[in-house]
């Protein structure tokens, strides 16, 4: 009964979606306030229905109703409750339902909180949002119905893929989807602006909070995915330039560019057309990411099933929205008025620089991700494009971007003074140089470029601090004045500095762990000791442990540093009988911001066991940096001007419906 209710709710949502796709547009054309207002109710109702549908699926999973096909295929009655819950989206069908749940959630947000939007704009935005929703409802109902029943219900399920039986599944996909789907709002706003043929600074002010929210979620979502891969895959890598990873990195890069160009549009009324294009491109890249991951073009842990019909359907959605969006852009963008002059050396100029490099970097990732697929389709030869390619292309572009980063916030709007800014950044340059020298002195080996990378990271961090010091007048003015200035500083200025600081922190972690990490891969016998980077690990033996739905062999290692016992590391192998599979659980031990990382390989006949031991200095900074970036975004989001909203120009009030 419950699965049927869930299915039915989804069909109802589709019906409402269809109404919402048309009615508000007709309303906007005929100036019918009631029709336009209808969109608000349908958007809220859509969310309620999809939430019901999702709740129904959750119920099936939590109660282990194996008469439902997806539950049978991806769940097991012995699984802990948290995994029963997360396995709802640990498969293709359920994850698409999560996708539309978040999509309708954002639609409901616009409906509920967009009270200060002009009525026609709101109507158009909700209509476009509904087009996307309808496409994905149809996709689910026609090709990926999660509520399908089995005629003969089995007694036991096939269990969730053991790799996914992890807390990461509770965090990573929802956050990533919040990011992907959040960009749909910027897309809807862009399309609505094109339909109306009118766009102004207020538009950017409405779009920015949504973009920021999506960007924050995506930042942490990607970082969480990276950390999950790091501790789960057993070889200590945190980024593999795998196509599925690139699929999430591309919208992030474009979204970051969009955040910055929207600032120019909001403050200076310039770069309008470009911002619209970026909004379309960012969501297009989210859709391409979904296509790559969900269509089965790529095999990875993310592609749960391989059904050609699904791939074709998503490709259809892709072509419709990207092609449609870009065509509309080509047709209507000339109607948008250009505005805001600025010199090349100015805040605007620096943001253009940012956009140019971010989009180009995004393009190189795009080429590296899709070239192998295109080549295979065209010539049949298979290649793999991996780390070296991206280091050679993405790397230099990002270095240039990082170098320019501290300049941007210090440059004045309209016309800036490059030399003056360089002088103000002297402290940052000095700190960077000292860091280079220190890095050379402390760590002699590894790439020659790495110390310069460290210097660059410290320079960016110091640059962010210099920005705040300059703005608050610290060191120059009396403390009381500094206090008032710091309190009066817009939160978005704090946000900028914090987020820029965060990316430098991540960069520092990446360079340090990548360059100065050490590793040993050896076979050890009980009683034997392995040493790495000053740590001694003694293998005490293997014990057996029983989990809810697995058996584990746990190897016990006592860790000592200079004879002092630091603790025990317990890497293990878990055997899941339901799928006849095993997973490798690495053991981690924090050493400052670095980590000792130990994972198990094969056991040999002589009783020895192969281990991988890594020491990764400062590795935690990679993910901490992402959290700092998110915090910067949150500060910016709490800025007064985004909360209060834009004042309505008097001329437009004529078009407001009588309320």
* Using rule CB under 8 A, residue 269 touches another protein: no
Burial class (CB in 10 A: 0-12, 13-18, 19+), 554: middle
CA–CA dist 638, 143 (Å, integer): 41
Site for another protein in 136-175 (CB under 8 A): 161-163
* Minimum distance, C-beta of residue 533 to another protein, in the bound complex (Å): 19
- In angstroms, what is the minimal distance from the CB of 344 to another protein? 5
Distance CA 148, CA 529 (A): 54
Of 86, 584, 595, 636, which lies in the binding site for another protein, with binding defined by CB under 8 A?
584
- Which listed range, 29-37, 314-322, 389-397, 559-567, lies at the site for another protein (CB under 8 A)? 389-397
- Nearest-approach distance from CB 340 to another protein, in angstroms: 11
Contacting residue, 573, 585, 589, 621, with another protein by CB under 8 A: 573
Q: Which of 11, 22, 374, 392 binds another protein (CB under 8 A)?
A: 392
Closest approach of another protein to the CB of residue 408, in Å: 15
Binding of another protein at residue 296 (CB under 8 A)?
yes
- Segment 71 to 100, residues that bind another protein, using CB under 8 A: none
**Interface with another protein, residue 449, by CB under 8 A:** no
Distance CA 117, CA 656 (A): 10
DSSP helix/strand/coil, 576: strand
Residues between 609 and 648 with contacts to another protein, criterion CB under 8 A: 610-612
How many whole angstroms separate alpha carbon 255 and alpha carbon 179?
Answer: 9
Distance CA 13, CA 17 (A): 6
Which has the closest alpha carbon to 325: 360, 369, 287, 291?
287
Q: Which is nearer to another protein, 431 or 510 (CB)?
A: 510
**498 close to 625: Cβ distance less than 8 angstroms:** no
| Subset of 402-421 contacting another protein (CB under 8 A) | none
x/- site string to another protein, residues 505 to 524, per CB under 8 A?
----------------xxx-
3-state DSSP assignment of residue 580:
coil
Looking up tokens 């929205």 gives: 321
| Nearest to another protein of 544, 602 (CB atom) | 602
Options 62-70, 127-135, 301-309, 475-483: segment touching another protein (CB under 8 A): 301-309
Task: State in angstroms the smallest separation of the CB of 521 from another protein.
Answer: 5
Which residue, among 516, 511, 514, 497, has the nearest Cα to 628 in the 3D structure?
A: 497
Closest by Cα among 411, 385, 632, 599 to 502: 632
- Looking at beta carbons only, is 495 or 514 nearer to another protein? 514
Neighbouring residues of 431: CB distance < 8 A, sequence distance ≥ 6: 458, 459, 461, 462
CB burial of 331-354 (b: ≥16 within 10 Å; e: otherwise) equals ebbeebeeebebeebbbbbbbbbb
Q: Among residues 443, 485, 579, 652, which is the contact residue for another protein, using CB under 8 A? A: 579
For residues 280 and 329, the answer to whether their CB atoms sit within 8 Å is yes
Q: Residue 89 or 458: which CB sits closer to another protein? A: 89
- Give the nearest distance from C-beta 594 to another protein in angstroms: 22
Contacts (Cβ under 8 Å, ≥6 apart) of 412? 346, 347
Which H helix or E strand runs over 369? helix 347-379
Least Å from the CB of residue 63 to another protein: 24
Closest contact distance (angstroms) between CB of 580 and another protein is 6
Residue with Cβ nearer another protein (145 or 584):
584
**Residue 550 Cβ vs another protein, minimum distance, rounded to whole Å:** 13
What is the Cα–Cα distance from 121 to 117, expressed in whole angstroms?
7
In sequence order, the 6+-apart residues with CB closer than 8 A to the CB of 530 are: 520, 522, 524, 536, 537, 539, 611, 613
* Interaction pattern, residues 231-250, with another protein; x per rule: CB under 8 A: --x-x-x--x-x--------
What x/- string results for residues 346 through 375 when contact with another protein is judged by CB under 8 A?
Answer: ------xx--xx--xx-xx--xx--xx---
Any contact of residue 201 with another protein (CB under 8 A)? no
What is the maximum alpha-carbon separation in the chain?
86
From the list 393, 512, 533, 595, which residue makes contact with another protein (rule: CB under 8 A)?
393
Contact predicate 458/431, CB 8 Å: yes
Q: Give least dist CB 244 to another protein, A.
A: 9
**Inter-helix orientation angle 92-113/2-30, to 10°:** 40
In the complex with another protein, the residue whose CB is nearer, 6 or 296, is 296
Q: Which stretch binds another protein (CB under 8 A): 14-22, 253-261, 336-344, 650-658?
A: 336-344
Residues 6+ away with beta carbon under 8 Å from 569: 537, 556, 557, 559, 587, 588, 589, 596, 598
396 or 649: whose CB is closer to another protein? 396
- Whichever of 74 and 472 has its CB closer to another protein, that residue is 74
Q: Give the shortest CB-262-to-another protein separation in angstroms.
A: 18
Q: Is 226 in the site for another protein (CB under 8 A)?
A: no
Output 228 or 283, the one with its CB closest to another protein: 228
DSSP 67: T
Please work out the total of residues on this chain that contact another protein, with binding judged by CB under 8 A.
62
Pick 381 or 546: Cβ nearer another protein: 381
**Residue 204 Cα distances to 186, 189, 271, angstroms:** 10, 9, 11
Q: Which stretch binds another protein (CB under 8 A): 125-133, 201-209, 335-343, 455-463?
A: 335-343
Please say whether the dihedral angle defined by the alpha carbons of residues 405, 409, 414 and 419, taken in this order, is positive or negative. negative
Q: Does 590 bind another protein (CB under 8 A)?
A: no
Residues that bind another protein (CB under 8 A): 161-163, 229, 233, 235, 237, 240, 242, 296, 299-306, 341-344, 352-353, 356-357, 360-361, 363-364, 367-368, 371-372, 381-386, 388-390, 392-393, 396-397, 521-523, 573, 579-582, 584, 601-602, 604, 610-612
């Amino acid at each position: 009964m419950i699965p049927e209710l869930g299915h039915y709710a989804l069909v109802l949502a589709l019906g409402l979606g269809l109404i919402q796709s048309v009615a508000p547009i007709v309303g906007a054309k005929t100036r019918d306030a009631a029709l336009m207002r209808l969109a608000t109710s349908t958007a809220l109702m859509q969310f309620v229905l999809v939430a019901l549908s999702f709740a129904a699926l959750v119920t099936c999973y939590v109660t282990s109703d194996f008469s439902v096909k997806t539950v049978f295929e991806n769940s097991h009655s012995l699984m802990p409750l948290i995994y029963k819950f997360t396995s709802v989206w640990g498969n293709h069908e359920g994850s698409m339902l999560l996708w539309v749940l978040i999509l309708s959630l954002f639609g409901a947000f616009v409906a509920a909180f967009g009270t200060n939007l002009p009525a026609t704009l709101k109507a158009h935005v909700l209509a476009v949002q509904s087009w996307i929703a309808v496409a994905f409802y149809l996709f689910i109902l026609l090709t990926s119905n999660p509520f399908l029943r089995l005629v003969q219900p089995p007694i036991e399920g096939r269990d969730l893929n053991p790799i996914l039986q992890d807390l990461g599944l509770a965090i990573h996909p929802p956050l990533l989807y919040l990011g992907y789907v959040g960009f749909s709002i910027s897309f809807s706003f862009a399309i609505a602006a094109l339909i109306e043929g009118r766009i102004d600074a207020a538009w950017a002010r409405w779009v920015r909070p949504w973009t920021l929210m999506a960007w924050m979620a995506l930042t942490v979502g990607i970082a969480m995915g990276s950390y999950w891969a790091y501790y789960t895959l057993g070889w200590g890598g945190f980024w593999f330039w795998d196509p599925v990873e690139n699929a999430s990195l591309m919208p992030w890069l474009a979204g970051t560019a969009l955040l910055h160009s929207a600032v120019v549009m909001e403050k200076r009324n310039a770069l309008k057309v470009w911002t619209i294009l970026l909004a379309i491109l960012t969501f297009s890249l989210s859709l391409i990411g979904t296509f790559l991951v969900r269509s089965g073009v790529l095999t990875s842990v993310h592609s749960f099933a391989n059904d050609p019909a699904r791939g074709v359907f998503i490709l259809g959605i892709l072509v419709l929205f990207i092609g449609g969006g870009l065509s509309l852009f080509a047709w209507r963008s000339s109607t948008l008025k250009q505005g805001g002059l600025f010199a090349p050396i100015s805040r605007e100029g620096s943001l253009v620089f940012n956009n140019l490099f971010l989009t180009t970097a995004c393009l190189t990732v795009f080429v590296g991700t899709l070239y192998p697929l295109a080549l295979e389709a065209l010539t049949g030869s298979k290649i793999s494009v991996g780390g070296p390619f991206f280091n050679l292309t993405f790397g230099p572009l990002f270095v240039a971007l990082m170098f320019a980063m501290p300049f941007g916030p210090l440059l004045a709007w309209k016309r800036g003074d490059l030399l003056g800014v360089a002088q103000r950044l002297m402290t940052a340059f000095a700190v960077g140089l000292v860091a280079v020298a220190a890095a050379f002195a402390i760590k002699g080996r590894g790439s020659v470029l790495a110390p310069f990378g460290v210097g660059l990271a410290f320079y960016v961090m110091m640059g962010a601090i210099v920005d705040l010091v300059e703005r608050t007048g610290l060191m120059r003015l009396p403390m009381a004045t500094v206090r008032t200035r710091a309190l009066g500083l817009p939160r978005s200025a704090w946000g900028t500095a914090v987020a820029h600081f965060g990316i430098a922190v991540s960069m520092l972690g990446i360079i340090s762990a990548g360059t100065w990490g050490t590793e040993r891969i050896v076979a050890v016998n009980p009683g034997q000791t392995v040493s790495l980077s000053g740590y001694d690990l003694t293998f005490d033996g293997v014990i057996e442990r029983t989990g809810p739905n697995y058996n584990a062999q746990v190897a016990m290692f006592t860790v000592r540093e200079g004879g002092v016992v630091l603790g025990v590391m317990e890497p293990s192998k878990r055997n899941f009988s339901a799928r006849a599979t095993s997973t490798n659980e690495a053991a981690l031990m924090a050493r400052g911001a670095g980590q000792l990382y130990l994972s198990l390989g094969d056991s040999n006949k002589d009783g020895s066991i192969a281990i991988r031991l890594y020491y990764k200095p400062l590795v935690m900074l990679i993910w901490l940096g992402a959290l700092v970036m998110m915090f910067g975004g949150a500060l910016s989001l709490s800025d007064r001007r985004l909360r209060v909203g834009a004042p309505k120009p008097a001329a437009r009030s004529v078009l407001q419906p009588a309320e």
